[in-house]
Structures are given as C-alpha cells and as structure tokens.
Amino acid sequence: MRRRDVHVRIHYAGLVFCVSFLVGLVVGLFSGFETRFNVLWIIGSVLLLPLVVALLRMKLFSVVTLVVASGFMIGNFLGVGAIQERQQLSTQAGKSMVISGRITDDVRQSAEDGKLQFALSGLSVDGREYEGKIWVNLASQELTTLKRGDSVEVKGFALPGFGAYGLSLGRAEVMSLSQTSNQDIGLQARDTFAAATEGSLPEPERSLGLGYLLGMKTNLPEDLSSNIQMLGLTHIVVASGYNLTILVNLARGLFQKISKYLSFATGLGMVGSFIAITGFSPSMTRAGLVATLSLLAWYYGRKFHPIKLLIYAASITLAYNPSYLLGDVGWYLSFTAFAGILIIAPLITRYFYPDPDKVSLIPETVIATFSAQLATLPIILHVFGSFSLLSIVANVLIVPIIPFAMLSVFVSGLSGLLLPFLAGIISLPAVWILKYCTLVINFIASFELSPVSYKADLSHVMTMYGIGSVLVLWLMFKTKHRFVTYSKKVEVGS
C-alpha cells in the first residue's frame, strides 16, 4: 500500500476515534451506562491503538471496529469518572464544611452586594481530594489581595452546584491563605503591565482597554459592564478566540515575508504567552487549541474542514476536562460561536457574494457577527432568557476597532514601563479610541429598546438547532461551498 494511502487512513482513523470518544464520553456522563469496570479497561483500550496503527497498512474492516471500541471505551472511562466525582462532591451539599483548593480564575466582585466570588479547583475535604470545581461566595468584601493561583482554605455552607460547579459555597470565610499566585509568571507580567497604564489612561477607558488586551474585566464599572453584557459585547472584554485571531494574524503579517518558520514560531509564542497571562478558561483552552491546530495546518500547507476541526477541538478539550460538558456555559458558547463563524458565515457570504474575495470589511463583520450570534442564540435564550436586537449594530461599530485598541493599549503600557515621563502623550491614541468605544456602547445602550425575553427549555434548544441544521444543509446545497478555510488568515472564533 502506498504511503499516501496509509496517511489518509491514519487521518480518518483519528477522526473516527475522536467521534467515538465523544460518544463514549456523552454516554458515560449522561446515560448512566458504565463500562468502566476497573483500570484494566482503560489500559486495554489504550493498547488497542498500536494494533490499529499496525493494521492500517492492511485492508481489514476490523480496523474500524478497533478504532470505535478504543475511542468509546476511553471516552466512557473519563465520562463515568467525571460524573462520579461530581456526585461524590454533591453529597456534601446541605452542611457546613471546610474545603481547601486553588483559585482558578480572577476573583470577581458581585454586582449585587459587592461580595467577592471565585472558582476553586484542586479540592480537598478532610484530607480527601476531589476533582471538579466549586463556586465560592465570600461573606465580606475584604481580602482584595486574593488572586488567581492562590491556595486558600475556606469555611462555609455548601449548596447544590450549578453548571460545571459541583458545589456552591455560601457565606464563606477564608480560614487560611497561601499566595502561591507569586509563582504564576503570566499573572505577574499581566499585573505589572496593567499597573503601568495607571495615570496615562483614564477610567473607565483603562479598564475597557485592559479587557480588550488582557481579558481583564473585573475592574469595569457596573453600568458599563451591564451595557456590554446587554449588547452582546462580552466576547471583546474577556480572553477569547477573537484576541488570539488578532495576535496570530499579526504574527503572520509581520514575519511571513521574512520566514514562514519565524511567523509560525512567533504565532505559537503569542498563543502560549496570551494563555499564560489570561489563564486556562474553557474558551481560552478551546481557542488556544484551535489556533495551534490552525497554525500547524498553515505551516504544513494543509487545510482543516471546519467540522473536523470542531471534532478535534472538542475531543481534546473534553479529554482535558470532561466537566465542561456538564454545563460550562462558556465552553458551549465558545464552541457554538466558533461553529457559526466557520460554518454559517462562509455559507451566507457565498450566498450573497459568489466571489468572497470581493467582500469588504463591513459586510464581512456583519455576516460574521450575525452568524456567531445566530449559532449561540438558543443557548443564550436557554441560560439567560433574553437577547438584544441592538447587538449586531454594536458589534459592527466596535469589533473592527478592537485591533487598533489592543495595539494602542499595548503601546501605552509599554511606554509606562520604559518611558513613564512620556506615557501621557504616547497614550493619547489609546484614550481617543477607547473613548469612542465607551461613547458608542453607552449611546446604543441608552435606546429604550427592551431586550427580547424568551426562556427556552432544552426541547426548544434542540428544535432550534435542528431547524438551523436544515438551513445549513440547504445553503450548502444552494451555494456548493466546499469550506476551504484558513487559506488567507487564521480564524479562531469567539
């Protein structure tokens, strides 16, 4: 058999394995069907993989059976393990408890009462370790020195969890604190850079700019934050795939003519550095993985079909953390927005513009924004129960400005570090751009156009996605679009 045929078989075997893995994971998480009898099950399924590779050179139908069995067993093993850990943790609900762990993300301040909130992982209760995460609501506004990466011991009343959190701890008090965040180089670099913008950027523009560049949104004023959320602009002030799209395409634009390898290495370095700074949230895990796969495909002259890319990204992120599938809204919104940008947007573009190269920036932005919001709408209605009709207008006016805002804020912070006596003058472009953004956001939000309210249950969500799938198939038939992606630039999604 020719080497090319073997490579093709390996490619499709990997795809079949990922699909089988996802099926096994869903079965393990939601159906209660357990194939995880003992550790020999996972060892046996892993040992099937070398056998599959060996058989790929032979015309044996049994290869498919082995690939499906191996993927299903590994997925089921992880799914059952995740749900069992969650169930064990949920048994603690209804009692006062002391639990220790590590803060996984930036500490937030509740908009209602100003109390501090954070997620905790690496859990330990009475010497017993638990997988998964819990949500902690502190009883006070103190301890503002808490940071991502700190190890804490908290005492509070355990309530049933929600989404991806196995428990919610209310009225909690910090019993002990170890500031292990000092070991997080990315966090230290972020905070040092953010401090360098003080004095040169006014508020709330400074907080908005740091949200653009670094995904920091904890310092946004409550009124601006609520306007951003109402207009569906949250993706621009949190670390997301859009930030990585800008950084990766910047690396390619700057260095591609010098060296393809330099462009590739710089892009990977930017992806790794950005994730280290922002932290491993579900959206960043997905976005970083997609950006890396996209860069690899570009470097080796290959192209990913978007559906395959979705399958690969879902498999790897869920293998990293199966609990994302249990109700992590960020993970679901990230993936559906990504699907909208890579599947729906090209079809709509091809339908209205037979020659995609002639699409200008404004129609491209409108189509991409509309596609991402259309794909996420069922989940938004299910979780939040409302959406704003002004969202697309706000995105069209703000999103094209973001690359310039990110660059100007970066220059402002750099000048604060290297040339503090000139930082005020050098930061003027950043101030003007960010003032434009805040004016547009507040102006559009001031219109008395009430958000559309509709609480969709799960059956409605599935019906909407079913109708959407039919429309996608119709557009594929109508436009005969082949989804040739990543030929000009890397798209990482929201």
pLDDT in tens, 50-82: 555 555 555 555 566 677 777 888 888 888 878
Rounded to an integer, the average pLDDT of 338-367 is: 80
What's the CA gap between 351 and 347, in Å, rounded?
6
**Higher-scoring residue by pLDDT: 213, 9:** 213
pLDDT of residue 480: 81
Taking only the tens place, the pLDDT of each residue in 254-280 is: 666 777 777 778 878 877 777 777 666
Q: Would you list the DSSP string of 68-127?
A: HHHHHHHHHHHHHHHHHHHHHHHTTTTSEEEEEEEE-S--EE-TTT--EEEEEEEEEETT
**Higher-scoring residue by pLDDT: 453, 26:** 26
Rounded to an integer, the average pLDDT of 376-405 is: 81
- For the record, the structure tokens of 62 come out as 């049994």
Would you say residue 87 has pLDDT above 80?
no
pLDDT of residue 470: 92
- For the record, the structure tokens of 61 come out as 């139908």
Assign residue 114 a region: left if phi > 0, alpha if psi is -120 to 50, beta otherwise?
left
**Higher-scoring residue by pLDDT: 470, 328:** 470
Q: What percentage of the chain carries pLDDT values higher than 70?
A: 76
Would you say residue 128 has pLDDT above 80?
no
Q: Phi and psi at residue 92, in whole multiples of 5°?
A: -80, -10
What's the CA gap between 292 and 244, in Å, rounded?
10
Q: Was domain 96-181 assigned CATH 1.10.3720.10?
A: no
* Parallel, antiparallel or unpaired: strands 128-138 and 108-109: unpaired
| Domains in the chain: boundaries | 3-89, 96-181, 190-479
Would you say residue 180 has pLDDT above 60?
yes
**Higher-scoring residue by pLDDT: 28, 491:** 28
Residues ≥6 apart with Cβ < 8 Å to 73: 24, 35, 41, 42, 44, 45
Would you say residue 491 has pLDDT above 60?
no
Rounded to an integer, the average pLDDT of 285-301 is: 73
Length of the chain: 494
What's the CA gap between 215 and 247, in Å, rounded?
13
Per mean pLDDT, which range of 196-210, 243-257, 373-387, 473-487 is the poorest? 243-257
Rounded to an integer, the average pLDDT of 291-307 is: 73
What's the CA gap between 12 and 308, in Å, rounded?
10
Q: Which of 340, 378, 379 is nearest to 467 (CA)?
A: 378
Q: How many CA atoms lie within 13 A of 180 on its CB side?
A: 12
Per mean pLDDT, which range of 28-42, 85-99, 115-129, 280-294 is the poorest? 28-42
What's the CA gap between 489 and 494, in Å, rounded?
15
- pTM comes to 0.75
Would you say residue 419 has pLDDT above 80?
yes
Confidence tier at 432 by pLDDT (50, 70, 90): very high
Confidence tier at 136 by pLDDT (50, 70, 90): confident
- For the record, the structure tokens of 213 come out as 């560049």
Residue carrying structure tokens 């690939």: 67
Helix (H) / strand (E) containing 130:
strand 128-138
Q: What is the mean pLDDT of the chain?
A: 76
Would you say residue 4 has pLDDT above 60?
no
Q: Would you list the DSSP string of 330-358?
A: HHHHHHHHHHIIIIIHHHHHHHH-SSGGG
Confidence tier at 100 by pLDDT (50, 70, 90): confident
